[in-house]
Copies of this chain bind each other. A is one copy, B any other.
Amino acid sequence: MQPLWTEMTPEKSSYFSMSHLNHKDVHVMIFIGFGFLMTFLKRYGFSSVGINLLLAAFGLQWGLLMQGIWHLDGGKIKVSILKIINADFSTATVLISFGAVLGKTSPVQLLIMTILEITIFSVNEHLVVGLMKASDVGASMVIHAYGAYFGLAVARVLYRPGLRNGHENDGSVYHSDMFAMIGTIFLWMFWPSFNSAIAEPPLSYTQLTAVINTYLSLATCVLSAYAISSLVEHKGKLDMVHIQNATLAGGVAVGTCADMSIGPFGAMLIGFVAGIISTVGFKYLSPILASNLGIQDTCGVHNLHGLPGILGGLAGIVAAALGKKDGASATMQAAALGSSLGFALVGGTITGLIMKLPFWGQPPDQNCFDDSIYWEVRNPIPHKYYLQVSDCLVRVAEGRFVCSSY
């Protein structure tokens, strides 16, 4: 099974170039975007960006194998940039699901999830894209909705009653929210590349359409996310959780339709609605899911990827029915959405049951959301360091605060 990449000819080098460039943008989204978006937790930054790197590096190799198995060429797996992009895409589903169970799972559990989720993804993708010929260029359905509901199903199976009343470390501090904004902004900027990366042929009207539709949807989504955040919060203030996440919902929701002739107003309408439902979901739906359905969704992936993913799928059905893309069928779009959700919920439940087996080193409730269980943390902030106040170094000796000279 020696992979080859001889399918590349010099004539195709320009094609390669553009694909490679889109690939690099997708790469930035996977490693910086997803990695830093999850660093909002006050004591879980090492795991967020570090385990994200581990899962992504592992997932893209596994994804390359899975991509290859569906497209064997004389019994061999041939590597191409397009397959590498698809491997990155399949990895994105895992990182979305990671967000749902962030802080409550061990690296070993997550590696198991990576193997299973990418494998099941490749089956669903083959079914949806290969057999149904459904259109999903920016993968609202096969990546975002699939990844979100897969992760929510896992989270449901791994429900922890001990965290019902929250956890001291399940929240942000000022600087952790700043790190998370690095992730948000890089995701926001490069989303047009994500939604246009596999548009065919790469250097064309179609790809340009996908870029501009995504661009407009994202820009509009920012406005509605800010407006609704301010509306639903105390005294009209903005909430960092909404800004970090709901501003991206427009990119998710326009995914399926990105390369269709939906026009700028279509794209902006999708982005506008996505920003609203995402923010409202964070504010009102997530607490209900946690308290009533036992779905503890750490990052709120339901609001960033789940609901906007379904919105994207529905928009695709409508656009296909309105004839916005040659050859697209509303029936097949609906079947693709159903298939993606079905594989996600069934696959996620089975995966959750396997992850629940008691020997994968899962953290006890009190160590959730805490890097120090899996990482050497030399100097945790703000805990356990000697503190200097004015010119004194504060220590505790015999139960009293003692001021030593510095």
| A binding-site residues for B, Cβ under 8 Å | 2-3, 5, 8, 10, 13-14, 16-18, 20-21, 24-25, 27-28, 31-32, 35-36, 39, 42, 45-46, 49-50, 53-54, 57-58, 60-61, 79, 81, 84, 107, 171-175, 177-179, 181-182, 185-186, 188-190, 193, 203-205, 208-209, 211-212, 215-216, 218-220, 222-223, 226, 233-234, 237-240, 243, 247, 263-265, 373-392, 394-396, 399-401, 403
Contacts and interface: CB of A to CB of B under 8 A. Distances in A.
Contacts of A49: 178, 181, 185
A379 B42 contact: yes
A255 to B, nearest CB: 19
B174 A31 contact: no
B387 A396 contact: no
25 contacts: A2-B263, A2-B264, A2-B265, A8-B208, A21-B21, A24-B193, A46-B243, A53-B185, A53-B188, A54-B226, A57-B219, A57-B222, A58-B219, A60-B219, A61-B219, A84-B212, A174-B381, A178-B179, A382-B387, A384-B388, A384-B391, A386-B390, A387-B387, A401-B401, A401-B403
Contact of A189 (B5, B31, B216, B382): B31
Contacts of A391: 384, 396
Contacts of A399: 392, 403
A188 B31 contact: yes
B380 A382 contact: no
Q: What DSSP secondary structure best describes chain A's contact surface?
A: helix
Given A2-B263, A60-B219, A387-B389, 11 more contacts: A10-B203, A16-B208, A24-B189, A39-B178, A45-B174, A46-B238, A49-B181, A58-B219, A239-B375, A389-B396, A394-B401
Contact of A203 (B16, B25, B193): B16
A174 B378 CA distance: 8
Given A32-B185, A46-B177, A384-B390, A171 B84 contact: no
A204 to B, nearest CB: 6
A234 B376 contact: yes
A177 to B, nearest CB: 7
Given A175-B175, A389-B387, A10 B238 contact: no
B203 A13 contact: yes
A176 B46 CA distance: 11
A98 to B, nearest CB: 15
B395 A389 contact: yes
A356 B171 CA distance: 37
A53 B219 contact: no
Contacts of A238: 46, 50, 374-376
Nearest to A43: B174
Contacts of A186: 32
The 5 A-B pairs of least Cβ separation, nearest first, read A57-B222, A13-B203, A390-B396, A173-B379, A57-B219
Contacts of A84: 212, 215
Contact of A58 (B25, B222, B390): B222
